Amino acid sequence: MSETSSSPSDAAIEEDLDRIRRFYRDKFLPANAWSTLLPRPYLYLRQRQRRLRDTLIACGIDTPERLRSIDVLDVGAGTGTNLAWLVELGVDPARCTGIDLMPESVAVARERLPQLRWLAGDFSSVDVGGPFDVILLVAVLTSIKDPELKQRIVDKCLSLLRPGGVFFFYDYMSRKDERGSDNYKRLSYAELEGYLRGRKARWFKRDYLRASLAESIVTRFGVTAAELVQALGVFNIEASFAYVRV
């Protein structure tokens, strides 16, 4: 075999990456369905911000001085929403790196937050530097179908953390394994725990209000009412946050 030839798993990964690029370019980005001007995305964004802050505090990153001293990487950063929140909390913009597969999204992020470091490409194969104190992987793995690519991404996240560093994860989860659709597959808790190779995740489970209820409460009574119902957890779905300390 020549040195340049790639393995069957590399070919499958390339195929999956092409599919992901097509999906984001042709469907996800033009639809703008997750614009936070819309009621449900706004409600969900606020919960994500709370969980990120909860996680930092739980992991001892709980003073302005400590926040200013951490290096952060956002994997699959999209247009930079999560890093924007961390900068607002007090993270030093010069210590933030975001990477996304879609150059279009990275261009928007760069324009929005020019003082951060932005990279475009597949995280599993791009040199992002490091190490980091906090790495985010938010709503990325459900877009990926190839299990080997998911494993490489989680392995790389964990390997780029300093000792005591924090891996912050979020996605739509399922209790049992699902087949998924062409462009979307929820992870089961067992699947993610497998990718973590025995590391213990601390979960914030069932964090989001059911979509139809969220839309109707936000529209009729406002976001505060929806947040209160969401906080009860009774009508929530398996959209779950987790963190791991290495």
Ligand X SMILES: C[S@@+](CC[C@H](N)C(=O)[O-])C[C@H]1O[C@@H](n2cnc3c(N)ncnc32)[C@H](O)[C@@H]1O
β-partners of residue 181 are 184
For ligand X, the closer CB: 78 or 165: 78
- Nearest by Cα to 244 from 47, 49, 46, 58: 58
Tell which positions 23-52 bind ligand X, by CB under 6 A: 24
Query: With contact defined as beta carbons under 8 Å apart, do 77 and 46 qualify?
Result: no
Instruction: Point out which span in 54-62, 70-78, 206-214, 227-235 binds ligand X (CB under 6 A).
Output: 70-78
Non-local CB neighbours of 196 within 8 Å, separated by 6+ positions: 154, 158, 244
Question: Tokens in use for 50?
Answer: 């709370």
Query: With contact defined as beta carbons under 8 Å apart, do 230 and 214 qualify?
Result: yes
Rule CB under 6 A: is residue 207 a binding residue for ligand X? Answer: no
Closest approach, Cβ 233 to ligand X, in A, equals: 22
Non-local CB neighbours of 69 within 8 Å, separated by 6+ positions: 92, 95
Which of 59, 67, 101, 209 lies at the binding interface for ligand X (CB under 6 A)?
Answer: 101
Query: With contact defined as beta carbons under 8 Å apart, do 44 and 38 qualify?
Result: no
- Nearest by Cα to 136 from 28, 242, 24, 23: 242
Tell which positions 78-97 bind ligand X, by CB under 6 A: 78, 81-82
Closest approach, Cβ 113 to ligand X, in A, equals: 13
For ligand X, the closer CB: 20 or 218: 20
Instruction: Point out which span in 57-65, 88-96, 121-129, 224-232 binds ligand X (CB under 6 A).
Output: 121-129
Query: With contact defined as beta carbons under 8 Å apart, do 211 and 238 qualify?
Result: no
Which of 73, 76, 113, 160 lies at the binding interface for ligand X (CB under 6 A)?
Answer: 76
Instruction: Point out which span in 73-81, 194-202, 211-219, 223-231 binds ligand X (CB under 6 A).
Output: 73-81
Task: Fill in the DSSP letter of residue 114.
Answer: T
Which of 47, 55, 105, 236 lies at the binding interface for ligand X (CB under 6 A)?
Answer: 105
Tell which positions 134-153 bind ligand X, by CB under 6 A: 138-140, 143-144
Rule CB under 6 A: is residue 173 a binding residue for ligand X? Answer: no
What are the start-end ranges of the E strands in 70-160?
72-75, 96-100, 117-120, 132-138
Footprint of ligand X (CB under 6 A): 20, 24, 76-78, 81-82, 99-102, 105, 122-124, 138-140, 143-144
